[in-house]
Structure 1
């Protein structure tokens, strides 16, 4: 299983422009919890880790209330994945360990 613990500088390429955030993760076995904090606010995250893949959901209220489905593959100190925002589609997510 990949080491996902710690702080990650994350960028989501959304229709509203690049969204910079800090993903702070603490794992426990095959699950994790933490926070996703950026210009649009802070969301609690809870998810799972399977091999080198993290999967989680997070609720946002800005620019409108919705639940985002997130998935990222961790390789050392980088992550690559996507954020799916329902009918709005999916957007690339990248990150580096802080």
Structure 2
């Protein structure tokens, strides 16, 4: 299964719905990714694809400093799962793969 590409994420949080963009690529046979949201771009760590299950960790500083663990299931061009920050309850994450750019 290919998860490469740009994904538009929506994360339901206690302070409201947050938007993020996830960019995934294969570099040297290794899955890599970055997430952009709230005017910051952060690298993904512990990025793993096991069948249709995609997991990763990332740290953010905006709107507050958090260390997040994501666990989602990818089905075609959609994904759904959870994001968890420490002891806080898990929040719902949904996403859709962005259409490829016609500039490429």
Check whether TM > 0.5. yes
Say whether 1:72 aligns with 2:78: no
Which protein has the bigger strand share? 1
Q: Which has the larger radius of gyration?
A: 2
| Alignment: residue pair count | 96
- Normalised to the residue count of structure 1, the TM-score between the two structures is 0.88
- Normalised to the residue count of structure 2, the TM-score between the two structures is 0.84
Query: How far does residue 40 in structure 1 lie from its aligned partner after superposition?
Result: 5.5
Q: Which runs of 5+ in 1 are unaligned?
A: none
| Misfit runs of 4+, over 4 Å | none
Say whether 1:10 aligns with 2:31: no
Structure-2 separation of matches of 1:27 and 1:72 = 19
Q: Which runs of 5+ in 2 are unaligned?
A: 99-104
RMSD, aligned α-carbons: 1.5
Structure-1 separation of matches of 2:25 and 2:95 = 16
Residue of structure 1 in register with 2:18 after alignment: 19
